[in-house]
Amino acid sequence: MFTGIVTDIGEILAVEQKGDLRARIATDYPAEGIDIGASISCEGVCLTVIATGTDPKDWFDVDISAETISKTNIGHHGWVPGRPINLERALKVGDELGGHIVSGHVDGVAEIVAMRDEGDSTRFTFRAPEALAGFIAPKGSVALNGTSLTVNEVNGAEFGVNIIPHTKEVTTWGRARVGDKVNLEIDTLARYVARLQDWAAR
């Protein structure tokens, strides 16, 4: 589990097709402190560490299945060397829950359809897949590229969030552009509420 509070901006060092797609990711996390089998949120996708190293900088390797590629922005524009990605280590007992509970299981891909500055912050408008739009509510939470964000308003399949300067500085959001595809994970609570409503209607 994660909280959607990004703690490092990693960099794709290499990708290789080996049955599954294998990626090597540079990080400021000390490699000796990353266990094989550990889960790390990579741009909002929960991936399992299969190798670590320190040459030329600290890095870890992950395998990415075809199913994951089909559900995430990896399948839209791919991970290529030099690409920055948001990283978060898995939540530990006693850690501060600064965002919301995030599983790292991406539900689909949203698109940035508009951006406008509001003071020092930026208001982003996203278009969600129709099948997921009903799970997004004003003042609710979503995880976008692994970042816990609060929804400001919803208009059909489109919704807006406000991203403050600090968030843009410590995540990849400062590099975002209209047209970008982003990983969307809906709030777990919204998923269970919808399931209960569906069950009650039977």
Please give the angle made by the CA atoms of 97, 168 and 146, to the nearest 5 degrees: 45
Task: Write out pLDDT tens, residues 155-187.
Answer: 999 999 999 999 999 999 999 999 999 999 998
Question: Selecting from 3.40.50.2300, 2.40.30.20, 2.40.50.100, 3.40.50.720, what CATH number does the domain 8-89 have?
Answer: 2.40.30.20
Structural contact between residues 176 and 115, judged by C-beta atoms closer than 8 angstroms: yes
pTM of the predicted protein model: 0.92
State which amino acid sits at residue 23.
Answer: A
pLDDT at residue 127, rounded to an integer: 98
- Domain extents for the chain? 8-89, 108-200
The fold of 108-200 is Elongation Factor Tu (Ef-tu); domain 3 (2.40.30)
pLDDT at residue 77, rounded to an integer: 66
Handedness of CA 79, 146, 117, 129 (dihedral sign): positive
Cα(160)–Cα(88) distance, integer angstroms: 23
pLDDT > 90 in the chain, percent = 81
State which amino acid sits at residue 162.
Answer: N
